[in-house]
Structure 1
Amino acid sequence: MHRISTFLTATAIVIAAAPAFADNDIITVKQMSMELARDIAQGAVDACRAQGYQVAATVVDRGAAPQAILRDMYAPSFTIEISRKKANAVILSSVATSEFRKNRADIRQEMNHVTGILVLDGAVPIRAAGALVGAVGVAGAPGGEKDEACARKAVEAIQDKLDFAE
């Protein structure tokens, strides 16, 4: 009888605790809409175009999956790949590529040999209410600092929307 009582007590404890464990099995993740990603990419291309630069812009989500890709008419086709790899470097590091390059000069060359990553100036994080939701990479302007300025301008243009995201 004691064994049955112990078994039933242990079973009751496990069943009572199960909902607490199950609550952690499903998580909520913030993700940009396709429209927001498109607006950021368009903003980056427009910012560079206003300065006379033909670029490509790629917006990736927090898992580095491309959400929006735009290439200005005269930007070389390979700028698409470069912009994507720059954006991926932001997802890897959670900081702008210029900051990553400066902070981790010790591994920069090695990181450029990782498939899908390129540590060059030209990409910035996209944060919604403080959470990293993606990155935008730009390529094609004469210098990564110019690419990054266009990316930053695009994110800043919609930052209020990001700051108040639920």
Structure 2
Amino acid sequence: MKKRIPIMLLTTLLASLNLAHAEDEAKKPSNFISVKQISMELAMDIAHESVLACREKGYNVAAVVVDRNASVQALLRDTMAARFTMQIAEEKANAVIMSGASSAEFRANRADIKDEMNEVDGILMLEGGLKIESGGSLLGAIGVSGAPGGEKDAECAKAALDKLMERLEMMD
């Protein structure tokens, strides 16, 4: 005659085995790193809001959002912005990714190598690039170019990030 194990006992036994396995797994070093990524939609919205913020002030600009690896994720150029603004905006964003600081901070902090860094392909140490962060994690960067002065480019990028802050915070 077969003995039957009561379902409560079986459930308790399985739960304790799962718990022991989970504890063993927690003690092992992880082979994976959790990385937050900015979505395509959010990247496009940040670029769009940056262009609109500058347009409201009468500036025709380009805005480029790069991910944490400096790969372009969104690029928008206002109708009358010069085609070179796209390259300049991307290179400002790349400077942010390389340095971990806004392009203005990077330029100020490393004035000693500013000229040399501007010779590096894909990097431009001009004001107008800002970090895109969520919960202390670097998601990417926004670069804006075309306003009469890098500080004005940075203001447009900041206006976009401020407007979309709630969506960025929801990524935590």
TM-score (norm 1): 0.85
Q: 1:95 maps to which residue?
A: 101
Identity of aligned residues (%): 53
Structure 2 residue aligned with 1:162, among 158, 168, 171?
168
Q: 2:159 maps to which residue?
A: 153
Deviates more, 1:151-160 or 1:83-92: 151-160
Deviates more, 1:156-165 or 1:29-38: 156-165
Q: Report the CA distance between 1:165 and its aligned residue.
A: 1.3
Following the alignment from structure 2 to structure 1, what is the Cα–Cα distance between the partners of residues 50 and 133? 16
Following the alignment from structure 1 to structure 2, what is the Cα–Cα distance between the partners of residues 154 and 20? 42
Measured against aligned partners, the alpha-carbon deviations of 1:85-116 in whole angstroms (never above 9, x if no partner) come to: 00000001111111111111111111101110
Q: Report the CA distance between 1:28 and its aligned residue.
A: 1.5
4+ long deviations beyond 4 Å: none
Q: Which amino acid aligns with 2:28?
A: A
Q: 2:118 maps to which residue?
A: 112
Measured against aligned partners, the alpha-carbon deviations of 1:41-80 in whole angstroms (never above 9, x if no partner) come to: 0010000000000000000000000000000000011110
Following the alignment from structure 1 to structure 2, what is the Cα–Cα distance between the partners of residues 153 and 130? 19
Q: Which amino acid aligns with 1:116?
A: G
Q: How many residues align?
A: 148
Please give the residue correspondences for 1:135-146 in structure 2 after superposition, counting only pairs within 5 Å: 135-146=141-152
Does structure 2 retain, via aligned residues, the 8 Å contact 1:126–1:134?
Answer: yes
Name the SS for the 2:154 alignment partner.
Answer: helix
Name the SS for the 1:69 alignment partner.
Answer: strand
Following the alignment from structure 1 to structure 2, what is the Cα–Cα distance between the partners of residues 160 and 100? 27
Does structure 2 retain, via aligned residues, the 8 Å contact 1:130–1:163?
Answer: no
Q: Report the CA distance between 1:164 and its aligned residue.
A: 3.0
Alignment of 1:61 with 2:79, yes or no, is no
Query: How big is the alpha-carbon RMSD for the aligned residues of Structure 1 and Structure 2?
Result: 1.4
Following the alignment from structure 1 to structure 2, what is the Cα–Cα distance between the partners of residues 147 and 83? 9
Alignment of 1:71 with 2:77, yes or no, is yes
Q: Which amino acid aligns with 1:81?
A: Q
Structure 2 residue aligned with 1:47, among 20, 45, 53?
53
Bigger radius of gyration among the two: 2
Alignment of 1:20 with 2:24, yes or no, is no
Q: Which runs of 5+ in 2 are unaligned?
A: 1-23
